[in-house]
Chain A
Amino acid sequence: MFDIVFWILALVTVSAALAVVILRDVFRAALSLVLLFLAIAGIYITLYADFLAVVQVLIYVGAISILIIVAIMLTREVWHGSPAGKLRIPALVVSLLLLGTMVFTVISTNWETSGEPPLQPTTAAIGTSLFGEGGFILPVEITAVLLLAAVLGAIVLIREK
């Protein structure tokens, strides 16, 4: 069951990512980016990561894509499209080389997978290990500082002089 779902989602993901790169219309590229984010949320569901799937829909589909679409509208560059630069052929070569290396490494490595059933539902367990004793509480607090710095930086950068 999950196999068929995975293949469909993989097809959708790869074609949406290709559309983001190939389409010349920036707005259509942003819309296929939204489709890509939704398909990745489906992939998280096939990996039993239910909390992450919801967070993906909330943050990426809800917030980041809106931010990107607002940026496209504010910069009025929709009519110029997104042409490829002079470095198109070297970029293609570099990314194909990297892809070949990564696929070869993944296939030739003997991964030690565990046969245990996955933990589900994951929300309570994620909350415990983020905020609980001996968990990730220090990174969570550093993340809060990072978010504050990002918000302040964005406001300072975009303020009228």
Chain B
Amino acid sequence: MMSVGLEHYLVLSAVLFSIGLYGVLAKRNAVVILMCIEIMLNAVNIALVAFSRYVVPMFLTGQIFAIFVMVVAAAEAAVGIAIIIAIYRSRQSVDVNKFDLMKW
């Protein structure tokens, strides 16, 4: 078994990102879609930290980028859940197929 390197972390990150993308495209429950977006953001973070560890180990630029991604993810989760609850109040549903307010 070869020793774990940068490629392993990048492939793991790609697998997680694809699973999240499938969930975002295929699911109908808006809360589950938000959860899948969190999976995708975490996958990107793994790639950033792996690059930081293996390509420039003496600088922490990748980890600092990951911190900014986390902050934006927290803001996105708060606003996303507020939007979902606001729509649920008027539509009594979180099914994205019924979110057609902006259709012409």
Interface residues, chain A, with chain B CB atoms under 8 Å away: 2-3, 6-7, 10, 13-14, 17-18, 20-21, 26, 29-30, 33, 36-37, 40, 43-44, 47-49, 51-52, 55-56, 59-60, 63-64, 67-68, 70-72, 74-75, 77, 80-85, 87-88, 90-92, 94-96, 98-99, 102-103, 106-107, 111-114, 116-119, 122, 125-126, 129-130, 136, 139, 143, 146-147, 149-151, 153-155, 157-158
Q: Which of B50-92 contact A (CB under 8 A)?
A: 50, 52-61, 63-64, 66-68, 70-79, 81-86, 88
Q: What are 13 A-B interface contacts by the 8 Å CB criterion?
A: A7-B4, A49-B66, A52-B45, A55-B70, A70-B81, A94-B25, A106-B10, A107-B11, A111-B7, A113-B6, A117-B57, A150-B78, A153-B79
Count residues of B near A (Cβ-Cβ below 8 Å).
75
The B contact surface, by secondary structure, is helix
